Amino acid sequence: MPKIVFVEPDGTEKEFEVADGLSVLEAAHKNGIDLEGACEGSLACSTCHVVVEGDWFDKLEEPSEDEEDMLDLAFGLTETSRLGCQIIMSEELDGLRVKLPSATRNMMVDK
């Protein structure tokens, strides 16, 4: 099983083994990581925004146009930002490191 490292906003690192085929969002929820996912992974919000660390960003598939549109709404957007619901874990991503932003922007609640 591939491993993922979640880096909390305070720098705390938490590493977990996760099943192939789980999204980063699902992996977070299964392991008690505070990653919102208000739309439950339906690509309708940006609350599962993560920042992919290091060279891992280049190993991911290109984001879809829909994902890029949602990322435009994310708090603290960076060049290596992605939505956790769109990153699917596999052996190729064993060791993936993602940083959780210090806040999220939930357009459904923030109106």
12 CB contacts (<8 Å, ≥6 apart)? none
Predicted local confidence at residue 64, as pLDDT: 97
What is the average per-residue pLDDT within 54-79? 95
Lowest mean pLDDT among 12-16, 19-23, 62-66, 99-103: 99-103
pLDDT > 80? residue 108: no
State the amino acid at position 19 in one-letter form: A
Predicted local confidence at residue 111, as pLDDT: 39
User: Which residue is it, tokens 């996760």?
Assistant: 18
Instruction: Give the DSSP H or E segment for 98.
Output: strand 96-99
The per-residue pLDDT for range 1-48, each reduced to its tens digit, is 999 999 999 999 999 999 999 999 999 999 999 999 999 999 999 999
Superfamily of domain 3-99: Beta-grasp domain (3.10.20.30)
| Mean confidence (pLDDT) of the chain | 92
Task: Check residue 100 and report its DSSP letter.
Answer: P
Kindly report the pTM of this predicted structure. Answer: 0.91
- Confidence class of residue 104 from pLDDT cuts 50, 70 and 90? low
What is the average per-residue pLDDT within 59-71? 96
Q: Delimit the domains of the chain by residue range.
A: 3-99
Three-class HEC string of 16-78: EECCCCCEHHHHHHHCCCCCCCCCCCCCCCCCCEEEECCCHHHHCCCCCHHHHHHHCCCCCCC
